[in-house]
């Protein structure tokens, strides 16, 4: 049965959290004061008990469906069976957003346990725009695209990520999920200025922001250097909070999710991270008003 939206909060007014399976029972029992919940549909497609709890929560919280299995950039095409299963889930939950990564993760019918980078070329743009239309037709709703994290540059790319995102928005009319932590860590790993990246991001198209923790590791390719790995296994780092404040000053308040997928902390830690994002949003709102005045 579809969920009505009567009890929905304004997702831009209170930060939400990524809801992972170990926290579901506590969220059902305690109904924490967070703005919304984002789930990975792949955790629920073969999990009737979890889906029952999630359906219950969707009556009270706005829910966002954030896919990891669509592989929008795959040269093989989109898995139609997965799309049909996903359509069933979104019809049941009536999510406020459905999103996925600008990446590929399947080849020859096999699912790779990773979100792999795409070369930014005219050919990739054509593939992604076509797949995006196919996904949106199959789901009957908009599909929001997230910027990935970067560790290596691809020699075959002929445009920058920003050029690609602008072209993607122009060609498809899609909206974007700006993962601020991905911008910070990719800026560190690839040697670009993350503030300038935010300044040049397609601002009008930003439907959502993500914040997540990363893990510094030794860079085997460049001894003595550190690479930041997008593990979602830690609290949001201070530089990412500062970049988030910058993003809010540029974009205005946008629905935000705290992502934490590995080494999950107690639920209370995630709720406090969301509260921290809310405090930053309030502070930047005052900054914006002061500048407007």
Binding site for Fe ion (CB under 5 A): 179, 210
Nearer to Fe ion by C-beta: 74 or 179?
179
Element containing residue 214 per DSSP (H, E)? none
Contact between 84 and 94 under an 8 Å Cβ cutoff? The reply is: no
Minimum CB–partner distance for residue 43 and Fe ion (Å) = 16
Minimum CB–partner distance for residue 29 and Fe ion (Å) = 27
Nearer to Fe ion by C-beta: 3 or 145?
145
The whole-angstrom separation of Cα 285 and Cα 290 is: 9
Nearer to Fe ion by C-beta: 23 or 210?
210
The whole-angstrom separation of Cα 20 and Cα 23 is: 6
The whole-angstrom separation of Cα 18 and Cα 260 is: 7
CA 163 to chain centre: 20
> Three-class SS of residue 146?
strand
Between β-strands 37-39 and 16-18, what pairing exists: parallel, antiparallel or unpaired? parallel
Minimum CB–partner distance for residue 143 and Fe ion (Å) = 15
Minimum CB–partner distance for residue 256 and Fe ion (Å) = 11
The whole-angstrom separation of Cα 250 and Cα 116 is: 29
Minimum CB–partner distance for residue 232 and Fe ion (Å) = 8
Between β-strands 97-101 and 226-229, what pairing exists: parallel, antiparallel or unpaired? unpaired
Nearer to Fe ion by C-beta: 91 or 151?
151
Nearer to Fe ion by C-beta: 62 or 148?
148
Nearer to Fe ion by C-beta: 82 or 184?
184
Per-residue buried b or exposed e for 238-264, using 16+ beta carbons within 10 Å of the residue's own CB: eebbebbbbbbebbebbbbbbbbeeeb
Long-range contacts, 4-7 (Cβ 8 Å, 24+): 4/59, 4/94, 5/62, 5/94, 7/59, 7/60
Minimum CB–partner distance for residue 103 and Fe ion (Å) = 11
Total count of residues recorded for the chain? 293
Contact between 63 and 37 under an 8 Å Cβ cutoff? The reply is: yes
Nearer to Fe ion by C-beta: 116 or 130?
116
Minimum CB–partner distance for residue 110 and Fe ion (Å) = 23
Residue 9, CB-side half-sphere exposure with 13 Å CA sphere = 18
Nearer to Fe ion by C-beta: 51 or 209?
209
Minimum CB–partner distance for residue 210 and Fe ion (Å) = 4
The whole-angstrom separation of Cα 275 and Cα 268 is: 10
């Amino acid at each position: 049965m579809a969920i009505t939206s009567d009890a929905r909060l304004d997702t831009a007014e209170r930060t939400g959290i990524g809801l992972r399976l170990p926290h579901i029972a506590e969220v059902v029992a305690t109904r924490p004061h967070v703005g919304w919940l984002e789930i990975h549909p792949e955790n629920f497609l073969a999990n009737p008990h979890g889906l029952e709890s999630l359906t219950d929560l969707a009556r009270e919280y706005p829910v966002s469906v954030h896919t990891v299995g669509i592989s929008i950039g795959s040269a093989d095409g989109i898995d139609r069976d997965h799309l049909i299963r996903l359509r069933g889930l979104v019809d049941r939950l009536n999510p406020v957003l459905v999103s996925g990564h600008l990446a590929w993760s399947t080849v020859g019918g096999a699912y790779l346990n990773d979100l792999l980078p795409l070369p930014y070329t005219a050919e990739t743009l054509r593939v992604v725009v076509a797949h995006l239309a196919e996904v949106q037709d199959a789901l009957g709703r908009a599909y929001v695209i997230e910027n990935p994290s970067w560790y290596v540059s691809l020699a075959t790319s002929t445009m920058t990520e920003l050029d690609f995102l602008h072209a993607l928005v122009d060609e498809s009319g899609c909206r974007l999920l700006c993962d601020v932590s991905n911008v910070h860590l990719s800026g560190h790993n690839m040697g670009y200025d993350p503030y300038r990246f935010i300044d040049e991001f397609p601002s009008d198209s930003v439907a959502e922001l993500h914040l997540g923790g990363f893990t510094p590791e030794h860079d085997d390719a460049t001894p003595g250097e550190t690479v930041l790995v997008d593990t979602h296994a830690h609290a949001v780092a201070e530089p990412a909070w500062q970049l988030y404040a910058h993003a809010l000053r540029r974009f205005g308040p946008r629905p935000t999710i705290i992502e934490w997928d590995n080494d999950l902390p107690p639920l209370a830690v995630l709720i406090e991270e969301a509260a921290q994002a809310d405090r930053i949003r309030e502070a930047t709102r005052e900054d914006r008003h002061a500048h407007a005045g």
